[in-house]
Amino acid sequence: MKAIIETERLRLRAWTEADLDVFYLLGTDPDAIRYAQREPYASRAHALEVLHAAPLRDYAEHGFGRFACEWKASGEVIGFSGLKYLPEFNEVELGYRFLPAWWGKGLATEAGQAGIAFARDTLELRRIISVILPENTASANVVRKLGLSFERSELYAPLDNARVDIWARSLV
């Protein structure tokens, strides 16, 4: 994936192996993973396997995937945001995760707006969804700001069949 998107405060770009340390941190920080994955990465080697199996494979197979989010002022990667094809729903999800020190600054909304524009204008997608655990009210507030509406609840196998809320938005 060659796209680089700049927002007011962020640079969104493809993940690389050079980002392994922060990718590992995003997959092991208890607060960052609370609503997103059941188990933290067991090691940096495990995180590298996931990096290859998820975003890097998504770029090759679908031409898009989650973006690493850099704080423009420093170049530091502080989270991720963007699109991911979810075969369980045969839909594209907008998702995000930031290190807790960066929460509450509007960055998920800022990155989400850029992801929606990319989905609509570059990928020409007609619809996006977001999969959110019901107790994750902060994420529900973000997607509401981004124009997604609650659509339904259902069980989601990748989170041990937890009940999740599906939020959706038309891009046409």
Domains and CATH numbers, the chain: 5-170 (3.40.630.30)
The per-residue pLDDT for range 96-148, each reduced to its tens digit, is 999 999 999 999 999 999 999 999 999 999 999 999 999 999 999 999 999 99
For residue 65, give the 3-state DSSP assignment.
Answer: coil
Hunting for tokens 């800022």 — which residue is that? 110
Closest CA to 95 of 74, 126, 64: 64
Is the pLDDT assigned to residue 149 strictly greater than 80?
yes
Which residues make Cβ contacts (< 8 Å) with residue 134, sequence separation at least 6? 153, 163, 164, 165
Write out the H or E segment, with its range, that includes residue 21. helix 20-26
Is the pLDDT assigned to residue 1 strictly greater than 70?
no
The average pLDDT across 73-102 equals 96
The model carries a pTM of 0.94
For residue 138, give the 3-state DSSP assignment.
Answer: helix
Hunting for tokens 């507030």 — which residue is that? 141
Find residue 154's DSSP bridge partners: 164
The per-residue pLDDT for range 25-58, each reduced to its tens digit, is 999 999 999 998 878 999 999 999 999 999 999 9
Which residues make Cβ contacts (< 8 Å) with residue 68, sequence separation at least 6? 12, 13, 14, 15, 16, 19, 22, 23, 77, 80
State residue 2's pLDDT score.
75
* Residue 129 near residue 92, CB atoms below 8 Å: yes
